[in-house]
Structure formats: C-alpha cells, structure tokens
Amino acid sequence: MTIVDDTTTPPCAYEPEIYLDELLHSPPARTDITAAEWDALTVKRATAHRQCAGCPLMVECLYRAVVEMDVSGYVACTTEWERQTIRRRLGIQVNQPTTAAYGAARVGGGPVSHEAVMTARQAYPKDTCHQLADRLGCSTSTIKRHLRRAREQKRDAALSPTLTPNLPTIDAVLDVFDELETSKVA
C-alpha cells in the first residue's frame, strides 16, 4: 500500500461530530426513528458521503478502516456494517479494539463504544437491554445494535475458522467496495 504524503486536512477533521454520529455509522432501522429523524439522517449521510467521496485520503482511509483497524464512525463512505461486509467478502478479520481511533470513547453526548457495551454486558449478564442502556446513558436500540454486531462477529468467526494469511490488496478492497450500494451514491 502506498501512503499518500498529503498535507490536506480531511473534511472529517473539521466536523468530527458528524462522522461519530452513531445514527450515521450504525444506522437504525427505518421503523426505529421518526420520519423527521430519518430525513435528518438522510441529509447528514449524504453530506458525509459527498465529503468522503471527494477526500484525497479516501482510498487509504477505506483500506485502513477495512484491513488494519476496526474503527468506530462513518469512514470513507462506509458504515461499520458495510466495512464488516467488505471484510466478510474478502475473508478477513481485524481484531483491534474499536476504541483506538475516531474517538469511540464516550464524551458528553458522544457515541457509546462497542467495547463499552460488551464490557457492561459481561459485567451485568442478567441485565436487560433497557437496564444496560440506563447504565451507559444511551438508548436501548444502541445496546441492541452493539449486541447484534457482537453476534454477527461471532458468527463470522465461526464461518471463517481459517483466516486469509495475506492482506488483501487495495484493488481487492476497492472491488468489493464497488459492489456496495454506497459506492453508487453520487
């Protein structure tokens, strides 16, 4: 992989709260939010998507978020689920914690991290989703999304007992990305 030496500041650096918006990087089902919230989310996603698509770091950003580190946030035109889809199709996994970048630590009204939810789940295994949400100060749907993600990761690990030893090329990642709906949005 070639890392571009580019001093241009990416758009996400100016508006990190958009890229860390949990509704954006881990979208709810249409029925989980109101029509007004859905419309606002659509506009926000279109804005972030447009900025990522025009970002000079887009290719490197996508590659690293897919292959090198399982970061939180809306990154390089992809949600967490879309990046997981790319990894599944490539037959790879990344084991780094999601708190390592893109500010997954919860600060003020920021997003609760996947790691925080799983830690709470482990500490309070008999808690309902509602009780866990109260403990972490987030919504019940947030807890459900993270628990669903953990189940999906566990399932993927079971389906892929032998991991690909070599890292995929940038072209391989881009080929799978091109198959996703998000790559076709202008």
| Binding-site ranges for ligand SF4 (CB under 6 A) | 10-12, 19, 51-52, 55, 57-58, 61, 75-76
57 vs 104, beta carbon nearer ligand SF4: 57
CB of 183 to ligand SF4, least distance (A): 13
Beta carbons of 112 and 133 less than 8 angstroms apart: no
CB of 104 to ligand SF4, least distance (A): 14
Per the structure block, which two tokens stand in for 186? 């202008």
55 vs 132, beta carbon nearer ligand SF4: 55
CB of 144 to ligand SF4, least distance (A): 26
For residues 114 and 147, give the distance between their C-alpha atoms in angstroms, rounded to a whole number: 8
CB of 67 to ligand SF4, least distance (A): 14
H helices within the chain, ranges in order? 16-19, 22-25, 35-53, 58-63, 80-90, 114-123, 129-136, 140-159, 170-179
43 vs 157, beta carbon nearer ligand SF4: 43
DSSP secondary structure letter of residue 65: I
